[in-house]
Amino acid sequence: MKIKRNLILMFILSVILILLFICVGMNNNNWQYILQRRGIMIVAVVITSAAIAFSAMIFQSITNNRILTPSVMGLDSLYMLVQTFIVFILSSNKNEIFASNINFILSVGVMVIFSILLFQVMLKKEKGNIYFLLLVGLILGTLFRSGASFMQMIIDPNEFSVLQGKMFASFNNVNSDVLLISIVIILLVMIYMYDYIDILDVLSLGRDHAINLGLSYEKTVKSLLIVTSILVSVSTALVGPITFLGLLVVNITHEFLKTYRHRYLIPASVLISIITLVGGQFVIERLLNFSTPVSVVINLVGGIYFISLLLKGNKA
């Protein structure tokens, strides 16, 4: 009952923050414009929050590690490599490409195909050694980041200023057509994941316990990793990379609920993610009048929290 009550309170708080974000500053003269603009922004925030929290919760359950996030697979770095490559090769048409659905489809397609190939090769070769897979993903991420940095060094400074906007997540200029595609993809993934909710409880016990309980470990892990890569790819291509949001909200969820049941952990992490993004966006834009993207603040706080987790683990 306490867990359900906490979920209801988080839902109410998220609804209050959403209403505050939409309604502050609205009057009879501007309500149509504000409702349309902020409505698209709020939908993008909710979809991104759900995708990041869901993927991070799945990933930590698979790896049985509270300090890992899907970003270690190198998808954020691959996204920046794709965006940099677009500017490097198609500099004259970069604005049209960035604003079109082609960029979204290209980015998502490249990240998902890369993930599937990585999982197929490494999990088959290493017989389910998830940590070796993560090590290879981390190395490839460094390679992608180095390639992107090299191209950024040699492009025109004016071109780099356009590219710089893709380095941080932003909800201010979300393409409504791309948003609709993202909603459909994420809803389909969540429907697919419904039958895996209880399986995540078993996976969180560790590989040996999961196999002893009769779970087809390699097949299940591969399917869940592909789901994770789709969620991360869609959220990243939609608004940009938010590296530490998943780490932050999933650990807060575990501390807040004190349960292993993913049927409670997943909706709680999604609600906490929505509260974090909507609340952060509201404070920065409406109260402090800052132009800094909320993702910068979240990455700063998440990075500090990540270091504290590492220090706490060393002491333990």
Indicate whether 76 belongs to any domain: yes
- Give Cβ neighbours of residue 168 (< 8 Å, ≥ 6 apart): 240, 241, 293, 295, 296
The DSSP code sequence of 153-177 is HHS-HHHHHHHHTTSS---TT--HH
Per-residue model confidence as pLDDT tens digits over 193-218? 888 888 888 888 888 888 888 888 88
Confidence class for position 188, pLDDT limits 50, 70, 90:
very high
Is 293 strand, coil or helix? coil
pLDDT computed for residue 152 by the predictor? 83
Please, what is the Cα angle at 162 between 48 and 113, to 5 degrees?
Answer: 50
The average pLDDT across 49-71 equals: 86
Q: Give the range among 81-95, 110-124, 260-274 with minimum mean pLDDT.
A: 81-95
3-class SS of residue 316? coil
pLDDT in tens, 28-42: 777 788 788 888 888
Cα–Cα distance for residue pair 177/34, rounded to 1 Å = 19
Does some domain include residue 34? no
* pLDDT, averaged across the chain: 82
Structural domain includes residue 81 = yes
Rounded alpha-carbon distances, angstroms, from residue 140 to 37, 77, 134, 144, 149? 38, 9, 10, 6, 14
Report d(CA 288, CA 88) in Å as an integer.
Answer: 36
What's residue 161's pLDDT?
72
220-238 mean pLDDT: 89
Rounded Cα–Cα distance for residues 141 and 79 (Å): 10
Instruction: Give the pair of three-digit tokens for residue 3.
Output: 């867990």
Domain contains 32: no
Is 30 a member of any domain? no
Residue whose C-alpha is closest to residue 84's, from 144, 9, 8? 144
Note the pLDDT tens digit of each residue in 118-175.
Answer: 887 777 665 556 778 778 888 888 898 898 888 888 887 777 777 776 777 777 777 7
Instruction: Give this prediction's pTM.
Output: 0.87
Amino acid at 238: L
162 domain residue, yes or no: yes
Residue 33 lies in a domain: no
What CA–CA distance (Å, rounded) separates 272 from 293?
A: 19
In Å, how far are 19, 21, 38 from 28, measured between CA atoms?
17, 17, 16
pLDDT score recorded for residue 275 = 92
CATH number, domain containing residue 76: 1.10.3470.10
Q: Distance between CA atoms of 295 and 285, rounded to whole angstroms? A: 13
Check residue 122 and give its pLDDT: 73
- CA gap 236, 111 in Å, rounded: 10
d(CA 160, CA 181): 28
In sequence order, what E strands does the chain have? Answer: none
Average pLDDT over residues 219-226: 87
DSSP 284: I
Would you call 252 helix, strand, or coil by DSSP? helix
- Domain extent, residue 202, equals 2-24+39-315
Please give the pLDDT value at position 51. Answer: 92
Structural domains of the chain, count? 1
In this prediction, residues 272-299 reach a mean pLDDT of 78
In-domain check, residue 230: yes
